[in-house]
Chain A
Amino acid sequence: MDDIYDVMILGAGAAGLTAGIYTSRAKLSTVILNQGATGGQMVLTNEVANYPGVKTTRGYNLAAIMKSQAKEFGCKIKSNVRIQNYDLGGKIKSVELQDGRTFSAYSVIVAPGGRPRSLQIPGADRFRGAGISFCATCDGEFFTQKEIVVVGGGNSALEEAVSLTKYAKKVTIVHQFDHFQAFEHAVQEAKSNDKIDFIMESALVEFGGEEKLDHVMIKHIPTGETRKFSTDGVFLFIGYLPNTEDLINHIQLNDRGEIVTNSSLQTSTPGVFAAGDTLSKQYRQITTAVADGTIAALNAAEYVAKIKDKSIMAYAS
């Protein structure tokens, strides 16, 4: 077994990196294990204009600074790892990676974040990068003067649909309900855009084409009627899924797979704290993730201090 860290953080998004900054600055030995790329959902944000103290920045810049801050305080960061087994119940908590390495710590902060929800329908894998996209700012220009579909009804879907009209000749929003979940101003902006059409109470059931996507099959949910709809591309903005599947037997999750904690961000397992977008909470912003990371780190530090005090007392007595 490798050395025992004071704190092990699972996830390197805004919450995990913030926790790493706090615990390593408090001189607690800290390792961050991240199953994806550093920055999490933060790097998916092209422009961040509401992070206090910073007028505007790009998500990847903010992530890069947080990562470098954590490393400068001595935090070790290991990205793109695959965790195979969790053992979080005891006084020493450990995880085993797919490559055989084991990491152990007195306290764990779980901040695994989420991933964009995709459609599990025929053609979804085949046409990714050949007509299916998740990022308007990355891929919008490939659809200049083309006709595209945007799937979703939240703020992201409507705001990105408007943004895509800079490139596309026509944008059709397909949404499963008869109303949108987005804020009213976003709905109004989309509705007042001449380039945007709407297909409500409908869902995509198939992506089709030869070398690249050229149509989708759209099902009208109330009637079950399905029709072929020609399109050059599809942008999916249908929310996020929490990356908590592997934690189901280790900490309490709610029925949406979100982590349940108390106000100290302690999970149902003593010594295991949680932070970020996978918490059961109302708002998910970079600022809220940063706040969660701070709270979880301070409580983990207190927990570690108590554990270590008890160990010293036991040894002395």
Chain B
Amino acid sequence: MTMLQTALHEIETAEELRKIIDEHENVMVCLGRMGPMCIPVYEAMEELEEEKDHIKFYTMAFDNPEGSIIREDPACQDFMGLPFTMYYKNGKVAHATSSIQSMEQIKDVLEKHFEN
């Protein structure tokens, strides 16, 4: 059952996440809640999804037990702010951020890791 009310596809299981990052070169996943620090990131992703066909955009609920695949990722070890946003390139974590990010900050990361 999905928990986030966004226009993005919500990943529900760790297996689904593994399959997605195995099958797609560039993947951005935002692990969060329907809270004030997370919603602006979802909204930016919804807009970017319309213009960037070569990147796949997904959400995952922080309170979904299956979200431990991201919560326990070494890249998130010191994270203390929602959302946890993961950028996967060829199945591996290319970058990860904690807390709210602006459209510019997200675009910078996408540019750096996915625009080659």
Q: Does A96 contact B (CB under 8 A)?
A: no
Q: Is the CB of B80 within 8 A of A46?
A: no
* A 113-157 binary contact with B (CB < 8 Å = 1; else 0): 000000000000000111111110111001100000000000000
- B residues less than 8 Å from A43 (CB atoms): 36, 39-40
Q: Does A267 contact B (CB under 8 A)?
A: no
- Distance between A159 CB and nearest chain B CB, rounded to angstroms: 15
Q: Does A24 contact B (CB under 8 A)?
A: no
- Distance between B12 CB and nearest chain A CB, rounded to angstroms: 21
- A residues less than 8 Å from B37 (CB atoms): 134-135, 138-139
- A residues less than 8 Å from B97 (CB atoms): 129
Q: Is the CB of B47 within 8 A of A135?
A: no
Report, as a range, how many residues of chain B touch the other chain.
20 to 34
Which single member of B33, B47, B103 contacts A138 (CB below 8 Å)? B33
Q: What DSSP secondary structure best describes chain B's contact surface?
A: loop
Q: Does B38 contact A (CB under 8 A)?
A: yes
* A 244-287 binary contact with B (CB < 8 Å = 1; else 0): 00000000000000000000000000000000000000000000
Q: Does B111 contact A (CB under 8 A)?
A: no
Instruction: Kindly state the separation between the CA atoms of A36 and B102 in the bound complex, as whole angstroms.
Output: 8
Q: Is the CB of A139 within 8 A of B36?
A: no
Q: Is the CB of B35 within 8 A of A135?
A: yes
Instruction: Kindly state the separation between the CA atoms of A130 and B99 in the bound complex, as whole angstroms.
Output: 8
Known A-B contacts A130-B80, A138-B82; the reply to A46 vs B36 at CB < 8 A is yes
Q: Is the CB of A138 within 8 A of B81?
A: yes
- B residues less than 8 Å from A80 (CB atoms): 43-44, 47, 103
Q: Is the CB of B47 within 8 A of A79?
A: yes
Known A-B contacts A80-B44, A138-B33; the reply to A129 vs B39 at CB < 8 A is no
Q: Does B64 contact A (CB under 8 A)?
A: no
Q: Does B78 contact A (CB under 8 A)?
A: yes
Chain B residue with the shortest CB-CB distance to A44:
B36
Q: Is the CB of A135 within 8 A of B40?
A: no
- B residues less than 8 Å from A207 (CB atoms): none
- Distance between B81 CB and nearest chain A CB, rounded to angstroms: 4
Interface residues of A in 52-99 (CB under 8 A from B): 58-60, 64, 79-80
- Distance between A258 CB and nearest chain B CB, rounded to angstroms: 23
Known A-B contacts A46-B36, A128-B99; the reply to A139 vs B80 at CB < 8 A is yes
Instruction: Kindly state the separation between the CA atoms of A86 and B116 in the bound complex, as whole angstroms.
Output: 34
- A residues less than 8 Å from B40 (CB atoms): 36-37, 43
- A residues less than 8 Å from B47 (CB atoms): 79-80
Q: Does B34 contact A (CB under 8 A)?
A: yes
Interface residues of A in 166-180 (CB under 8 A from B): none
Which single member of A44, A58, A129 contacts B81 (CB below 8 Å)? A129
- A residues less than 8 Å from B13 (CB atoms): none
- Distance between B45 CB and nearest chain A CB, rounded to angstroms: 10
Chain A residue with the shortest CB-CB distance to B103:
A80
Which single member of B5, B44, B80 contacts A133 (CB below 8 Å)? B80
Known A-B contacts A37-B43, A38-B43; the reply to A129 vs B80 at CB < 8 A is yes
Most chain B beta-carbon neighbours within 10 Å: one of A46, A60, A131, A142: A60
- Distance between B70 CB and nearest chain A CB, rounded to angstroms: 14
* B 60-87 binary contact with A (CB < 8 Å = 1; else 0): 0000000000000000011111100000
**8 CB < 8 A contacts A-B:** A39-B39, A46-B36, A128-B98, A129-B81, A130-B80, A133-B80, A138-B38, A212-B78
Besides A36-B40, A133-B99, 18 new A-B residue pairs in contact (Cβ under 8 A), listed by A number: A36-B102, A37-B39, A37-B44, A43-B40, A60-B34, A60-B36, A64-B5, A130-B78, A132-B81, A133-B80, A134-B37, A138-B82, A139-B37, A142-B80, A142-B81, A143-B80, A211-B78, A212-B80
Q: Which 4 A-B pairs have the closest CB atoms?
A: A129-B98, A129-B99, A37-B40, A129-B81
Measuring CB to CB, which residues of chain A are less than 8 angstroms from any residue of chain B? Answer: 36-39, 43-46, 58-60, 64, 79-80, 128-135, 137-139, 142-143, 211-212, 233
